[in-house]
């Protein structure tokens, strides 16, 4: 028996890269029902085709938007757990369409909170981003506010038996809108491979790693926490070099003739990123593969657990972590590329 067995689970943004993988992996735990909510009927159709008829009795496909409170209220009837994956995540688009990002990432999150409380949901988990740590762009700022709202929802809910928490990801390899599919396409076309700055350092994780963290966070949340997976860092230029070496022959091209083209940082981008601020580190505990930032908000009716708080924020600062070597990047990308080509229906 799994924590998710015989449970009814709602996944907002359920046809996205993370949301759809949550759905796939949840099926193995034999839930009572999975409700896949998203705005895009074509992606719903593709996911339905992929999963096949054998899971029809367990999966429900719901068209809707987290901006619509009434839709969220109906979608959460009888739901036990919510994975809140829906968001605008593309940094430049959020910079140029800032209030649209607010309406989805902030107001949409409040709709999720309100509907979950009204319908007696047991647990709600928000998917956030490392760009929420000391944000320099609209997307990061809206996700930081969404994190804060999830934490304060523990107080907002009063004595109701509901738990809210957040998970903060780095860059997810091969997810929609990530750089990996773009780089692969550019290599297929013979280059150049466009890079904002080859010296940029980023945290990276695979989609299966991301979903594994989500499941663990959902099971163990006490309420108000922020879960942060420990992740390796790499230089974008090094990753592109490895991709060119690995993929050019697959596309019948010479790796030596495909070049990188530096196009400069986009609006809101940083050279380095952090997963956790120094202030958050003061209220965190460290585990083998993650950090847990504990809420400072007093939760009604809950006895505060005494913990030894405080970790070094250096372990969450990409500028202070040794980047992966090219051989380590090659190993990291091997399984990711197989999955990418599977999803793209290309030979691996």
Q: Which residues pair with 196 in a beta bridge?
A: none
Q: How many helices (H) and strands (E) does the chain have?
A: 12, 14
Using CB atoms within 10 Å of the CB of residue 291, give its burial: 0 to 12 exposed, 13 to 18 middle, 19+ buried: buried
Query: Phi, psi (5° rounding) for residue 125?
Result: -125, 125
CB 158 within 8 A of CB 216: no
CA angle 168, 37, 339 (to 5 degrees): 60
Contact 297, 154 (CB under 8 A): yes
Question: Do you know the residue count of the chain?
Answer: 348
State the catalytic residues.
Answer: 131
Question: Would you tell me how many other CB atoms lie within 10 Å of the CB of residue 344?
Answer: 13
Residue 72 to residue 183: CA distance in whole angstroms? 36
Q: What contacts 13, CB < 8 A, 6 or more positions away?
A: 19, 37, 38, 66, 84, 85, 86, 87, 127
CA 65 to CA 108: how far, in whole Å?
8
Query: What are the structure tokens assigned to 96, written together?
Result: 């140029």
Which position has the token pair 């928490």? Answer: 165
Q: Comparing C-alpha atoms, which of 241, 135, 121, 130 is closest to residue 193?
A: 241
Exposure letters 18-55 (e unless 16+ CB within 10 A, then b): bbbbbbbbbbebebebbbbbbbeeebbeebbeebeeee
Token couple for 341 = 């080509």
């Amino acid at each position: 028996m799994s924590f998710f067995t015989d449970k009814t689970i709602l996944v907002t943004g359920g046809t996205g890269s993370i949301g759809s993988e949550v759905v796939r992996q949840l099926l193995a735990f034999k839930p009572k029902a999975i409700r896949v909510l998203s705005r895009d009927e074509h992606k719903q159709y593709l996911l339905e085709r992929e999963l096949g008829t054998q899971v029809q009795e367990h999966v429900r496909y719901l068209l809707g938007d987290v901006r619509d409170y009434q839709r969220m209220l109906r979608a959460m009837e009888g739901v036990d757990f919510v994975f809140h994956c829906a968001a605008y995540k593309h940094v430049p688009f959020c910079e140029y369409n800032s209030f649209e990002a607010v309406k989805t990432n902030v107001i949409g999150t409040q709709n999720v909170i309100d509907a979950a409380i009204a319908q007696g949901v047991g647990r709600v988990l928000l998917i956030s981003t490392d760009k929420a740590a000391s944000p320099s762009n609209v997307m990061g700022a809206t996700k930081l506010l969404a994190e804060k709202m999830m934490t304060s929802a523990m107080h907002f809910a009063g004595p109701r038996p509901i738990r809210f928490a957040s998970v903060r990801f780095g860059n997810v390899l091969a997810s929609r809108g990530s750089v990996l599919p773009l780089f692969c396409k550019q290599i297929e076309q013979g280059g150049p491979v466009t890079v904002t700055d080859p010296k940029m350092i980023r945290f990276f994780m695979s989609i299966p790693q991301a979903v594994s963290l989500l499941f663990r966070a959902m099971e163990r949340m006490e309420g108000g926490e922020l879960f942060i997976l420990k992740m390796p860092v790499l230089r974008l230029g090094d990753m592109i070099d490895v991709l060119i070496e690995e993929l050019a022959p697959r596309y019948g091209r010479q790796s030596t003739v495909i070049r990188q083209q530096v196009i400069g940082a986009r609006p809101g981008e940083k050279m380095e990123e952090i997963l956790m601020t120094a202030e958050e580190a003061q209220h965190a505990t460290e585990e083998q593969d993650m950090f847990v930032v504990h809420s400072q908000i007093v939760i009604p009716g809950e006895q505060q657990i005494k913990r030894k708080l405080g970790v070094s924020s250096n372990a969450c600062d990409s500028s202070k972590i040794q980047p992966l070597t090219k051989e380590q990047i090659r190993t990291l990308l091997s399984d990711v590329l197989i999955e990418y080509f599977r999803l793209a229906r290309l030979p691996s």
